[in-house]
Amino acid sequence: MKNVTIYSTPSCHFCHLAKDFFKEKNIAYTEHDVASDLEKRKEMMEKSGQMGVPVIIIGDELIVGFDKTKIANLLGL
């Protein structure tokens, strides 16, 4: 299984959709709350080049936003 990381904020609707999707599919993920963790916010901005959330990393692939089809394809679902 590929490593899954999500950079999110508590008020982000699409972040909640992504996390619900991972839970529904039993996908383990690491979450970073970039609203409160300034180091992780900086890391996310360096990787994605922007402030928008969610930023999801699956293996070596970076996705900005909740693109369910792309996420499912990267996870082999």
Percent of the chain clearing pLDDT 90 (strictly above): 95
Kindly indicate the confidence band of residue 24, based on its pLDDT and cuts at 50, 70 and 90: very high
Length of the chain: 77
Average pLDDT for residues 23-27, to the nearest whole number? 96
Kindly indicate the confidence band of residue 25, based on its pLDDT and cuts at 50, 70 and 90: very high
Parse the chain into domains and list their residue ranges.
4-75
Check pLDDT > 90 for residue 19.
Answer: yes
Cα 15 to Cα 49: distance, rounded to the nearest angstrom: 18
Check pLDDT > 80 for residue 32.
Answer: yes
The CA R_g of the chain, rounded to the nearest whole Å, is: 11
Check pLDDT > 90 for residue 1.
Answer: no
Place of tokens 């609203």: 35
Residues 6 or more apart whose Cβ sits within 8 Å of residue 9: 15, 33, 34, 35, 53
Domain 4-75 has CATH 3.30.110.30: no
